[in-house]
Amino acid sequence: MVQIYMDFNNSSSHEMGNVIDNRMVNHSIAPNLIIKPKKDFAQISREVYELANSDNPISKYVTRSLEVIEKSINLYGIDGLGISFNGGKDCVVLLYLFTAVIYKHFRKSEKKPKIQAVYIRTPNSFVEVEEFVNECILRYELDIIIIEGPMKQALQKYHECRPNVKAILIGTRRIDPHGKNLSEFIPTDPDWPPFMRIHPILDWNYPLVWKFLLTLNVPYCILYDKGYTSIGSIDNTCPNPDLRNPAQSCGYDPAWKLVDENRERCGR
Ligand code: FAD
Ligand code: MG
């Protein structure tokens, strides 16, 4: 088992306006936080590729997503590629797949490159989400930049901070607002900062996301166990009314029990 921890004394910090790097964020929240991942990167990679090669009904989706991520690394290189990560279930799937591909791709290298990530923090985010993002920074050893929103301006700052990053993996799916007309590889719109947007899980649906997370026992934000099916800010998000169940201590069933996937955003 690998133990991941932050060594703040050996870290350099990066600050630019209201852009902050992972070490500063972690230090302010939990200076002594040590996350022991249930699995090391080798195991994550092995399990993901085993799932892709299995006769599990989700394997063809996993295979396609892995192909898209592998193609992205070939096109942009690991230095030219980032992931947009906000702690939501979709980008957790994406991050897990990305970790699996990177480990496989660089397994013979002496040092596994760190995943470059960007998190745009919006006002009034859930404490649970912030804590989960921090856990992921440690668990997956992310080289993350956290920028205060709004999104377009934050991405412009990210572009200035990390000019090497030309393409960004995004966990958007077809059912999301604006997801319908996207493709796996599509440049940002002309009035957005210039990146190639890459959507490896575009064709996944809601049950698939949960099947993947539960099958591989992937850690996810605790709010999903309390009836939240799609998470925005504290002001606009509540548990999904479809999951109301007074028999549960929190009053709601977990997110994976949602039957009608069209009702995913009903708590927002
Ligand atoms: P979710 O379903 O929560 O998010 C979908 C995915 O977006 C997440 O899985 C994650 O990968 C990413 N994401 C969402 N919120 C955050 C956050 N706070 N921090 C980091 N990542 C996040 N819109 C346009 O109209 N034109 C564009 O050209 C365009 N380019 C974009 C480029 C990038 C890199 C990103 C991240 C977004 C871009 N957007 C663009 C906005 C995008 O279309 C969605 O509006 C936005 O991602 C929020 O998605 P959602 O509401 O579906 O939330
Ligand atoms: Mg989503």
Whether the per-residue pLDDT at 212 is higher than 70: the answer is: yes
CA of 175 to the centre of ligand 1 (A): 13
Question: What would the mean pLDDT of 98-114 be, rounded to a whole number?
Answer: 92
- Show the beta-strand stretches assigned E in 94-244: 116-121, 143-148, 167-169, 185-187, 196-198
Q: What percent of the chain has pLDDT over 70?
A: 86
Q: Which residues contact 255 (CB under 8 A, 6 or more apart)?
A: 89, 210, 224, 225, 227, 228, 229, 240, 243
Q: Is 228 in the pocket of ligand 1 (CB under 6 A)?
A: no
Tokens encoding 48: 């993901």
Highest mean pLDDT, choosing among 10-14, 39-43, 54-58, 120-124 = 54-58
**pLDDT digits 0-9 by tens, 140-154:** 999 999 999 899 999
124 conformational bin, left if phi > 0, alpha if psi -120 to 50, beta if neither? left
CA of 86 to the centre of ligand 1 (A): 9
CA of 209 to the centre of ligand 1 (A): 17
| pLDDT interval class at 38 (50, 70, 90) | low
Dist CA 253 CA 206 (whole Å): 16
Going from the C-alpha of 35 to that of each of 26, 72, 90, 137, the distances in angstroms are: 12, 29, 22, 10
Whether the per-residue pLDDT at 15 is higher than 80: the answer is: no
Q: Is 86 in the pocket of ligand 1 (CB under 6 A)?
A: yes
In this prediction the pTM is: 0.89
Nearest to 99 by CA among 132, 124, 134, 73: 73
Closest C-alpha to ligand 1, atom 8:
171
Tell me how far the alpha carbon of residue 36 is from its chain's centroid: 19
